[in-house]
Amino acid sequence: MFENLSERLGGVFDRLTRQGALSEADVATALREVRVALLEADVSLPVARDFIKAVTVKATGQAVTKSVTPGQQVVKIVHDELIRVLAGEGAPEALKIDNPPAAILMVGLQGSGKTTTTAKLAKRLKEKNGKRVLLASLDTNRPAAMEQLAILGGQIGVDSLPIVKGESAVQIAKRAKTQAAMGGYDILFLDTAGRLHIDEVLMDEVQAVRDIAQPRETLLVVDGLTGQDAVNVASEFDGKVGISGVVLTRMDGDGRGGAALSMRAVTGKPIRFVGLGEKMDAIEPFEPERVAGRILGMGDIVALVEKARETFEAEQAERMMKRFQKGLFNMNDLRTQLEQMMKMGGMQGLMGMMPGMGKMAKQAETAGFDDRMLRRQIALIGSMTKKERANPDLLQASRKKRIAAGAGLEVQELNRLLKQHKQMADVMKKMGKGGGMKQMIRQMM
Ligand code: GDP
C-alpha cells in the first residue's frame, strides 16, 4: 500500500536532505511537491491544505538542532504530521468486546469486502483473543451471500447461525442475539446486507437491526481503492446509522491510499483495520505510526532527528542547570524557558510544575496567558541587544520604548515580562542555594 505516494515523497525528501543549508524557498518548493503528491494520492483538498499549513508553521518555528540538516528536520516534521492526520486525537481504540455476547455490526456497500472482513476479524478474535465467536448473515436478499459467510465460518472453524428461509433481517438479528447468549458466545458478528449504493431502504434496515442488536461496535467496511468515495461513503453511513470505526479493504492493491489519509480528518472516525488480500489472515490493525513510516520510507532519518534532539535537549538542560545553581537567570535563560514552554504545549501545565509558581499559574489562566503571549514575549526578548539580554537591569525608559517598538508591542507588555523575569530570577536564586534544582530543571525540559 501507498507505493506511489511513498515513491513521490521519497523523491522530494531525497533532494531536500541532500542539501546542507536550506532556504525558505527550498522548503516551500518541497512542500508544494508534497501537496501535489497528496492530491494525486486522492487525499481530499482541505486535508492536503491543512497538512501543508501545519508542516509549514512547524518548520518555520523550528529551532535548529545540531548534527542534523534542516532537510532532515523537515522530514521528521512531515512524519509527525502524517501520524497526527492518520491518528487524530486520542489513543487508538481496541475493539470493545467486553460484556459477552458483544455484538459487532458490520455495514457497508456490496462488494466492499464486508463478508470477507467479517470472517477475517472472527478468525483474529478467535485465535489472538481466544474468543468464542458466532457469525450471522442478515443478507436476506442474497442467499448466496448468507451461504458464503457460513462457508468462510467453516473454513476458519467459527460457528455460524443456521440459515432459516423467509426471516427478515430484524428477525435474524433477534434470533442471533438469543443464540449468542444461550450458546455462551463472547462475540456476535452481524453481517448486514449491502447495496450497490446508499439508499433509504438499506439505511432503514440497518437502523432497525442496530436498535435490536445494540452493537458495541458498528464497523463500516469500505474499499480503499475508491479513494475519496470511500470517505464520502463513511460520512454518509456515519450520519445515518452512526459508525464506531472503519475497515479499509484492498489496501494490498496499488491504490493511491488517499482514503486512509483523509478518513479521520473528514469523518472523525478511526480506521481500525486494513484488509491486505483475499486470504483469511490478510488483515492488520491500523497503526498510524507504522503507516506513516511506510508512506515516508525514511525511518532512519526520523530516528536520527529524534536522537539528535534528545542529545541537544540534554545538553541544554545541563547548561541551564549549571547557571541556575549559581543563581543566574537572565533574559536568554528566560527565552529558552519560554520556547520550551511553547513546545510543551502551553503555560499553565508547566507553571503548575514549578515550585512557587502555582499562584502565577492561576493568574496566568485568568489573564489569558497563552501561546500567543509566549510568542510576544519571545519577540520582546528578540528585540533586546545582547547586552540587555545578559543584564536586564540596564533597561531604562528609552531602551524599553525601543524594545517594545521593535517587537511591535506596548511598553506595558515589556514591563510585565520584566516583572515575570524578576519573580522567576528570585525563585532561581533561592532554589540555587537549596536543593531540588536538578529535579525541577528536569521537569522543565
Ligand atoms: P461484500 O459484498 O462486501 O460482502 O464483499 P466480499 O466479502 O464478498 O468481497 C468481495 C471480493 O473482494 C472478494 O473476492 C474478496 O476476496 C475480495 N476482497 C475482500 N477484501 C479484500 C482485500 O483486503 N484485498 C483484496 N485484494 N481483495 C479483497
- Comparing 55-64, 148-157, 280-289, the range with the smallest average pLDDT is 55-64
Say if 96 falls within a structural domain: no
Whether residue 108 is found in the same domain as residue 75: no
List of residues 6+ apart from 250 with CB closer than 8 A: 113, 223, 224, 225, 275
Residue 130 is assigned to a ligand binding site: no
Binding site membership of 276 for ligand 1 (Cβ less than 6 Å): yes
Is 311 domain-assigned?
Answer: no
DSSP state string for 143-186: HHHHHHHHHHHHHHT-EEPPP-TT--HHHHHHHHHHHHHHTT-S
Do both 109 and 243 map to the same domain?
yes
Residue 179 domain-assigned (yes or no): yes
**What is the domain-level CATH number for residue 130?**
3.40.50.300
Q: Does one domain contain both 208 and 64?
A: no
Mark whether 127 and 273 lie in a shared domain: yes
Spatial separation of the C-alpha atoms in residues 238 and 268, rounded to whole Å: 10
Summarize pLDDT for 99-145 with one digit per residue, the tens: 899 999 999 999 999 999 999 999 999 999 999 999 999 999 888 99
Whether residue 156 sits in one domain with residue 79 = no
CB of 278 closer than 6 angstroms to any ligand 1 atom:
yes
Which CB contacts under 8 angstroms, 24+ apart, belong to 137-141? 137/161, 137/163, 137/172, 137/191, 138/169, 138/172, 138/173, 138/190, 138/191, 138/192, 138/193, 138/209, 139/191, 139/192, 139/193, 139/194, 140/167, 140/168, 140/169, 140/172, 140/193, 141/193
More confident residue, 199 or 245: 245
Average pLDDT over residues 317-344: 80
**pLDDT (0 to 100) of residue 401:** 94
Which CATH number fits the domain that encloses residue 67? 1.20.120.140
Tell whether 124 and 230 lie within a shared domain. yes
Residue 291 falls inside a structural domain: no
ipTM: 0.98
Separation between Cα atoms, residue 75 and residue 10, nearest integer Å = 10
Are both 75 and 113 inside the same structural domain? Answer: no
Q: 400: Cβ below 6 Å to ligand 1?
A: no
Is residue 350 situated within a structural domain? yes
Determine if ligand 1 sits within 6 Å of the CB of residue 111.
yes
pLDDT number for residue 355: 45
Say how far apart CA 154 and CA 145 lie, in whole Å: 14
CATH number of the domain enclosing 397? 1.10.260.30
Among 86-100, 286-300, 324-338, 354-368, name the most confident range.
324-338
Task: Tell me, yes or no, whether 222 and 134 share the same domain.
Answer: yes
* Claim to verify: residue 415 and residue 280 sit in the same structural domain: no
Residue nearest to atom 11 of ligand 1 (CA): 113
Do residues 181 and 212 both lie within one domain? yes
37 has pLDDT over 90: no
* Atom 14 in ligand 1: residue holding the nearest Cα: 278
Q: Is 118 annotated as a binding residue?
A: no
Q: How many domains does the chain have?
A: 3
Is there an atom of ligand 1 within 6 Å of 224 CB?
Answer: no
pTM score? 0.69
pLDDT in tens, 84-104: 888 877 655 688 888 899 999
Range of the structural domain that residue 117 is part of: 102-286
For the segment 148-164, what is each residue's pLDDT rounded down to a tens digit? Answer: 999 999 999 999 999 99
CA-nearest residue for atom 13, ligand 1, is: 113
If DSSP codes are grouped into helix, strand and coil, which group holds residue 13?
helix
Whether residue 194 lies inside any domain: the answer is: yes
Domain boundary among 261, 286, 311: 286
Rg (CA), the chain: 28
Asked if residue 319 is part of any domain, the answer here is no
In single-letter form, the type of residue at position 119 comes to A
The reported pLDDT for the residue numbered 346 is: 53
Regarding the beta carbon of 244 and ligand 1, being less than 6 Å apart is answered no
Domain match, 361 and 279 both: no
Residue to mutate (ligand 1; options 110, 149, 247, 278; most atoms within 8 A of CB):
278
| Shared-domain flag, residues 57 and 160 | no
Q: Average pLDDT for residues 210-228, to the nearest whole number?
A: 93
For the segment 414-443, what is each residue's pLDDT rounded down to a tens digit? 999 999 898 888 887 777 665 555 555 555
Within a domain: 318: no
